[in-house]
Amino acid sequence: MKTALLFSIALGISLNSATYCLGQPPAIAAPAASPPGDASGGERLREDLRAMVTKARDRVYPALVNISVVTVSYWGGKETKGGSTGSGTILSEDGYVLTNQHVVNDGTKFRVTLADKRELPATLIGEDPLTDLAVLKIDISKLNPGEKLSPALFGASSSLGVGDTVMAMGSPLALSRSVTLGIVSNTERVFTADSGDDVEELAFERGRTGLFTSWIQHDAAINPGNSGGPLVDLEGRVVGVNAMKIGSSGIALAIPQSLAQPVYDSLIKNGEVSRSYIGLALKSIKRSDFKEGVIVNSVLKGSPADKAGLKAGDLIVAMDGQPVNVRFAEEVPVFTRAIADKPVGTPIQFEYKPSGTGAISKAVIVTEKLLRETGDETSLRLWGISLREITEKLARDLQLPTMEGTMVLGVKNGSPADTAEPQLQMADIIKNIDGQPIANLKQAVEAYKAIMSREPIPEFVLIGVDRQGKDIVTLIKPRPDKKEDPPREVAKAWIGIATQPVLKELAEKLGDKGATGFRITRIYPGTVAASSDLKIGDIITSINGERVAPRTMQEAGALNRKIKSLPMDKPATIAVIRQGTPTDITVATERTRTTRDEALKDVNKDFELTVRELTFFDRDEARWTADVTGVLAESVEQAGWAGLAGLGAGDLIQRIGEADVKDIPSYRKVMEAITKAQPSKVTFFVLRGTRTFVLFAEPEWKPLTKSETKSETDGEVTPQAQATPPAPAPKPTP
């Protein structure tokens, strides 16, 4: 963005101090002035203000809710689950909740916490990224018999004036409900480019916002977690929806009721907001020499305005016979909204001056429906591709000849799509799979399912893509790699001790200049060495009469190499120095123990989890006894199914569901059964240090589009943690 302002999405409100002021809505009379010298006047003023705030708060508090969202996003060739939290307001007894769109963005499951701290499931009714608003519906069947919700009421944002007192309500930082107090600073805030006369839109992940919004600027403190919460006047009515704050300046912004209420009504009635579009970007006349009108800043090619002959630089002076005068940037959203609010297909008569000069020309422009910013998304998990639906707008922005196919959103490193020759790339348009034409995202998913259900899975699949106008074909290998266990080293002699090299300098500090060798740091319990006369602190200087004296740290492995060269299960004479006294000790060797590098491993791409067998050395370090069994998590993808369940590297998996896991073979057997059954929930029982944990993974087995995912949602799952608020996404480039 050109503006130097730093924007912070405000998913919430602050718990800290309130800011008191005397600005009041016109409907509430200000307290009478105190007589001169009346010391109690200030106290009465505070009490009167407190009474008004309390009364207004209590009208809205029962309708204030905290919203928890489980999210699924598709990027980098894989599906990523996460979570977010925000606030909202119940506005009907039927359970409709108004919140911000960025709170529910990518959401698949929703839960709402009521004023009495009960959690109820909710479903997404509709979202409108262009205004950053969304509506959820609480499942009121979960209420107690005869119980009703207590909705808040809309007020009139048009009645607000600069200096009026307002309250921001919400659940900051996913905490319990709070209220902060402040005043209205500006009732028609817009964001402008450096020139000051161009309105600058905000671009988030699901598209632009601010195109139609004149924000209410106020100084009631808000923080992450407050987004979607109400801005309330002192009559206890909702006059706005808190959406964001600007950096750490204390400036907060709310979407006015005059915009939010019609969007709320439309989402409930239609599930969307239908708007008219003509393809113009507009500019105020602030820096021009014009005395009236609005300047055409740009015209989108192929749009209704383009077809009607309007061009950049034209000056619109009238619309449907009414004079147009957009003098300042703050007036641009109002005029833009006047066009958008007309029914789709409405003919609008414009009067304009070509290039701002000369005689007035006329044009009748028939509006078209404003298209969705982005389409559905999904991932073909085992191929490592994330895909996006090609909407009419996306095809137009990318200048694609048709809407046929589906766009590659990302490719996972090391996946079949990444190792294909040539590899698939972001922005490729998939046109056919395995010889079958792909018309849309749904057909790509169906082709993937059909191929991966074959027995056996084909070794190669041909995929055809359009890459910036070039017809490219490639082969991917969808068949999972056959698991191969690492080679085991041939069994050799071993003595159950751990050592450290003792070089010349360390030997001198230990009091014996000639005692270079290997100092025993641990004698492993349960080994032959443990029953010998070896002691921790002994410095080994020779074995069977052969000197072992390291000169550098690079020779740290010399002792182990010497021991491995000995016969197995045979006695060896070890010369040690113990407290300055040389001693010979006889110790029988035994078979080498499996090391971590030699341990059997299993890589599960579904759960993005790598485990290995538990070795003798793992048990020793964790102080686990020989009866402790399981497989050790070696690496876990944080955003994978196992990672989101809370599984971490170092956890010992001992049971999955009802099946005990004792080793790699039993683990593989359990995971293969899970892959075939494809349950919606998998329970892991793990040992972490000395404590056991029960963890729940929620796999998404089938590739689904976002719309399909939402239709299958039952609202019964709470996210693991609050997510970081989404950062503004870059603006789409035509």
**Tokens representing residue 9 in the block:** 């999405």
One-letter amino acid at 21 equals C
Pairing of strands 601-604, 590-591: unpaired
Looking at 599-726, list the stretches that DSSP marks H as alpha helix, in order from N- to C-terminal side.
Answer: 616-622, 641-645, 664-677, 706-711
One-letter amino acid at 621 equals E
One-letter amino acid at 96 equals Y
Q: What gap in Å lies between CA 171 and CA 189, rounded to an integer?
A: 25
In this structure, the dihedral spanned by the alpha carbons of residues 413, 607, 409 and 445, taken in order and rounded to 10 degrees, is: 120
Distances (CA, A) of 129 to 277, 338, 727: 16, 18, 14
Catalytic residues, by residue number, are 102, 132, 227
Give 507's DSSP letter.
Answer: H
Per the CB < 8 A criterion, the answer to whether 92 and 151 are in contact is yes
Cis peptide before 422 (omega within 30 of 0): yes
| Residue corresponding to tokens 């159950």 | 496
Q: What gap in Å lies between CA 259 and CA 273, rounded to an integer?
A: 12
Q: How many CB atoms lie within 10 A of CB 141?
A: 8
Task: Render 143-170 in DSSP notation, one character per residue.
Answer: SPTT-------B--GGG--TT-EEEEEE
Cα-flanking dihedrals φ and ψ of residue 603, to 5°? Answer: -110, 120
Q: Interior CA angle at 688 toward 687 and 689, to 5°? A: 110
Strand-pair partners of 696: 683
Report the candidate in 228, 199, 196 with the shortest Cα–Cα distance to residue 213.
199
